[in-house]
Structure 1
Amino acid sequence: MGRPTTSSLPEGTPQESLTVRDNRTGKVYTIPIEDNAISATAFKSMAAPPKPGEREENETAKGLRVQDKGFLNTAVMRSEITYIDGEAGVLRYRGYPIEQLALKSSHLETAYLLIYGSLPTKEQYRFFESEVMRHSVMHSDAEGFFRSFRYDAHPMSMLTSAFAMLGSYYSEANPSLQGQRLYTKGDEMSLATMDRQIYRLIGKAITLASMAYRVRQGRNFVTPPSGLSYTGSFLYQMDNLGEENYTPNPILEKALDVLFLIHADHELNASCTTVLQTGSSLVDPYSAISAGCASLYGPLHGGANEAVIRMLISIGSPENVPAFIEAVKRREKTLSGFGHRVYKTSDPRSFIVRKTADEVFKVTGKDALLETAMALHDAAMRDEYFIKRKLAPNVDFWCVVLAWFPSPTNAMTLTPTFFAGGFPLDFFPVLFAVPRVVGWLAHWRQMMLQEGGVKIWRPRQVYVGSGKRDYVPVEERVPVEGLRQTPSKVEHGGITKRTMLATFKQRSKL
């Protein structure tokens, strides 16, 4: 984008520019508009003399800064991958509506589209699928790695650690060892190195997730099978207990593939932005993906799925829904799975999952928790409180409904370790992370190959802390009190408490 120019107010025909008058100085700036966006750095030229007594930390003479907490309206890059219109409920991958892809495509075919920009031919897809599945096998050392976790370790903690662990296996993938332009050259060798890591990360994502699952079950690990689809292999690795010719149910396999496809990318969400922020330092892609996985772990992002199922369990049964709705209105309860940061009308993915869920229910039937979910949906959709606030069910709500395959056990008495669809509750974010690896890689690859190279992401801040002050000797300091200004006291017990009461060579008795 072009630099701003100082000029008088434009006259005549409309121009693709923004005219800003700085009332501090009286200067008028013309800032070019390109693709309905302006450059934030254009404001850096809008400097002014500091006011008398103004804090030097404001750096007024160095130009204006643009403040945007939470990136509410800041575009950090130009992208060709995913388009979202939150007001209209539109989601497109590379221009293709998500509804068409969910109906006609597959997760791996869509992965090819997201990463390389076009739908593959039969031959191109055959090659891509072969490479991904071939790279799903893990080194035997990975077994020891996963066995080192406690039996009750959260699967997202294991998966996050496992992605980082992968980086230690492939020195040729590390720009710190091979040169910082390893992925940014754009030549044949650089692209081949990049693609090899893409095959590995997508292929091994299902294997790592399966290993995390089987650790929790106390089961031996399963070598990825040959001849199955991506999601078929995933289900096989999780569930096979040595049965001969074991084949996952095709309806469940297809349902999981649809879930993977619609979750493959969602533009610059928190986890994708984390991958790009980390990747901008030119770290290896395994470390960047691990960082994205950690971001996805949070309850405001991938952890939302788990929050929905816990909410439904807390409601208990359909007859308790009205009371829960009223408690939400009084802000005594939290409604999970409704509304979205981007979508202000409806989440297009939710309709796809709802339709897929109907197919799954034909072979699984329904149970009490599913009935509770449906009752909550119907009640919220009729209530003016939720209609007015545009709180429609989002994809997290319907994905949980779909993932909860009925059990003969009474779901209302179950603890958080209950198995929903064969998955522990805390495994839900993993089902989100596995497909999202594709979107993370698509954006990472795009950034590595962008025109002008990669610039490390280094946001600005508005400093509002203390001005310059001189060091005070410890004897002259006045204690500062307050919960946020002093370290918290921690209660100790067990061996720590006994040790604190003991005497030893370096310390006398208290």
Structure 2
Amino acid sequence: MNTKTVTITDDTTGKSFKCPVREAVHGHPVIDCQALPKELGMFTFDPAFMTTASCESKITFIDGDKGILLHGGYPIDQLAEKSSFLEVFHLLFYGELPSAEQLISLKTSMNSHSMLHEGLRSVYNGFRRDAHPMAMLVGIVGALSAYYHDSMDINNKRHRELCALRLIAKMPTIAANCYRYTKGLPYVYPRNDLSYVENFIYMMFSAPTEEYKFNKTAVHALETMLILHADHEQNASTSTVRLAGSSQANPFACIAAGIATLWGPAHGGANEAVIRMLQEIQDVKNIPDYIARVKDKNNPTRLMGFGHRVYKNFDPRAKIINQVCHELLHELNAEHAPLFEIAMELERIALEDEYFIERKLYPNVDFYSGIILSALGIPLNMFTAMFALARTAGWISQWNEMMEEGNVKIGRPRQLYVGAAMRDYVDLGKR
């Protein structure tokens, strides 16, 4: 039995409380302060919850200082190299990589649930043609709760599993339809003979009047990107899904809440910001001036896609996607396109310039994923939707893990009130 404690003392009253310390398999121990209000009449103050562990989880672990990302104990580089997106989803949701039989069963489930209810066409039609795909994604995913409420008992393990399978299977169809709706293109139905990633590409870009030919390098690049974005511990959108789920809300509504949170430019829009930066630079000859502005502390110009809030040395996902990005650009003969020339020169400078090396501003996963998506012909306003497509695997797994715990407490953060003290109401005529 662990008996390690941390003592907190109130200097005013002299009262002390020994908080139990809970050990983690990886990472820092956690001080359990749940009894602090009862013992000392105090709460902890932690804006943005940066030092607060809000849950226990077996799904993902990040060590930002060492550049480590593990899913179920497996390093991300091994999963990206040897696994598929569906295998990673199985790992996140069930806790283990699938056997050959389980993977076949999962693929069968994807085929069974990839179609959308035809009634959802009217939901798409309710949007303006220039609606942002993320607005549509929030609405369509939320609307799923109106179509599958008959088999959605969140306390039923099989119902939760069915919800997850439906969601993962339908997300490529939903996202592709968002794109095609804004372009005025006919919807393309999924095909059972295609892989998960192939199906998405097919539904996005194929025409009903001709055969679609796949580029294997492009399929591999997109699959790798989905794997690298599948889950990333308790970030803003994942925490939102858990908080919404704590109220026992419909899981489709919880995922819609996660999508809404991801939409924020401070969260899911980084890869889009990378491309906008490259477009602003316009030409390789303009890079020195741009870098000079970045180095000027009095200039607000930022280098997008470099450094990371969590990873203090390097983003382990960036090492993997770097190679894939270069392979794709070479395959598509895009290496000498102006946008990608700028990107590669920025990459070279960041890896060689002492200013960036000292500050550990290395290219991160968003830098390369933005380039990959752009090279694949995916429009800028779909970038965050692609992120949501990948992250749905983590969101629904985190939600399911929370529900499996049983007796889930509804989330209720506290506050430090700094408003007016108690005062008496003054009649309107005397104010």
TM-score interval (norm. to shorter): over 0.9
Tell whether the 8 Å contact from 1:349 to 1:395 is kept in structure 2 after alignment.
yes
Shift of 1:29: 2.5
**For 1:333 and 1:106, how far apart are their aligned partners in 2?**
38
**For 1:470 and 1:29, how far apart are their aligned partners in 2?**
38
Q: Which position in structure 2 is the counterpart of 1:459?
A: 413
**For 1:16 and 1:173, how far apart are their aligned partners in 2?**
45
2:327 corresponds to 1:359: yes
Q: Which position in structure 1 is the counterpart of 2:38?
A: 45
Deviations 1:310-353 (A, max 9, x none): 01100111111111111112233122111111100100111111
2:376 corresponds to 1:398: no
Structure 1 stretch 299-308 or stretch 21-30: which is displaced more? 21-30
Q: Which position in structure 2 is the counterpart of 1:431?
A: 386
SS of aligned partner of 2:31: coil
Q: Which position in structure 2 is the counterpart of 1:261?
A: 227
* Equivalent residues in 2 for 1:232-243, closer than 5 Å: 232-243=198-209
| Larger Rg belongs to | 1
- In terms of fraction of residues, the more helix-rich structure is 2
* Equivalent residues in 2 for 1:245-394, closer than 5 Å: 245-330=211-296, 331-365=299-333, 366=335, 367-394=337-364
Tell whether the 8 Å contact from 1:207 to 1:234 is kept in structure 2 after alignment.
yes
Tell whether the 8 Å contact from 1:325 to 1:380 is kept in structure 2 after alignment.
no
Shift of 1:244: 4.5
TM-score (norm 2): 0.95
Q: Which position in structure 2 is the counterpart of 1:417?
A: none
Tell whether the 8 Å contact from 1:271 to 1:293 is kept in structure 2 after alignment.
yes
**4+ runs deviating over 6 angstroms:** none
Shift of 1:437: 0.4
**For 1:222 and 1:164, how far apart are their aligned partners in 2?**
22
Q: Which position in structure 2 is the counterpart of 1:445?
A: 400
Structure 2 spans left out of the alignment, 5+ residues: 24-28
Shift of 1:427: 0.6
Deviations 1:388-437 (A, max 9, x none): 322211110111122222xxxxxxxxxxxxxxx32221110011000100
Equivalent AA in structure 1 for residue 358 of structure 2: K
SS of aligned partner of 2:16: strand
**For 1:245 and 1:99, how far apart are their aligned partners in 2?**
35
SS of aligned partner of 2:194: coil
Q: Which position in structure 2 is the counterpart of 1:183?
A: 154
Equivalent AA in structure 1 for residue 393 of structure 2: V
Tell whether the 8 Å contact from 1:81 to 1:114 is kept in structure 2 after alignment.
yes
Give the alignment's Cα RMSD to 1 decimal.
1.5
SS of aligned partner of 1:32: strand
Structure 1 spans left out of the alignment, 5+ residues: 3-14, 48-62, 175-181, 185-189, 406-420, 478-510
Q: 1:145 aligns with which of 109, 123, 148?
A: 123
Q: Which position in structure 1 is the counterpart of 2:8?
A: 20
Q: Larger RCO: Structure 1 or Structure 2 (Cα < 8 Å, ≥ 6 residues apart)? A: 2
Q: Which position in structure 1 is the counterpart of 2:140?
A: 162
SS of aligned partner of 1:149: coil
Equivalent AA in structure 2 for residue 42 of structure 1: A
Q: Which position in structure 2 is the counterpart of 1:53?
A: none
Tell whether the 8 Å contact from 2:76 to 2:228 is kept in structure 1 after alignment.
yes
Tell whether the 8 Å contact from 1:322 to 1:379 is kept in structure 2 after alignment.
no
Equivalent AA in structure 2 for residue 30 of structure 1: K
Q: Which position in structure 2 is the counterpart of 1:131?
A: 109
* Equivalent residues in 2 for 1:74-113, closer than 5 Å: 74-113=52-91
Tell whether the 8 Å contact from 2:19 to 2:33 is kept in structure 1 after alignment.
no
SS of aligned partner of 1:167: helix
Q: Name the count of aligned residue pairs.
A: 422
Q: Which position in structure 2 is the counterpart of 1:408?
A: none
Tell whether the 8 Å contact from 2:321 to 2:368 is kept in structure 1 after alignment.
yes
Deviations 1:112-143 (A, max 9, x none): 01100001111111111110232010111222
TM-score (norm 1): 0.80
SS of aligned partner of 2:35: helix
Tell whether the 8 Å contact from 1:173 to 1:284 is kept in structure 2 after alignment.
no
Deviations 1:18-38 (A, max 9, x none): 123321122333222111112
SS of aligned partner of 1:40: coil
Shift of 1:207: 0.4
Q: Percent identity?
A: 42
2:430 corresponds to 1:476: yes
Equivalent AA in structure 2 for residue 457 of structure 1: G
Tell whether the 8 Å contact from 2:177 to 2:204 is kept in structure 1 after alignment.
yes
Shift of 1:381: 2.8
Tell whether the 8 Å contact from 1:132 to 1:200 is kept in structure 2 after alignment.
yes
Tell whether the 8 Å contact from 1:167 to 1:173 is kept in structure 2 after alignment.
no
Tell whether the 8 Å contact from 2:142 to 2:256 is kept in structure 1 after alignment.
yes
Tell whether the 8 Å contact from 2:374 to 2:380 is kept in structure 1 after alignment.
no
**For 1:285 and 1:247, how far apart are their aligned partners in 2?**
36
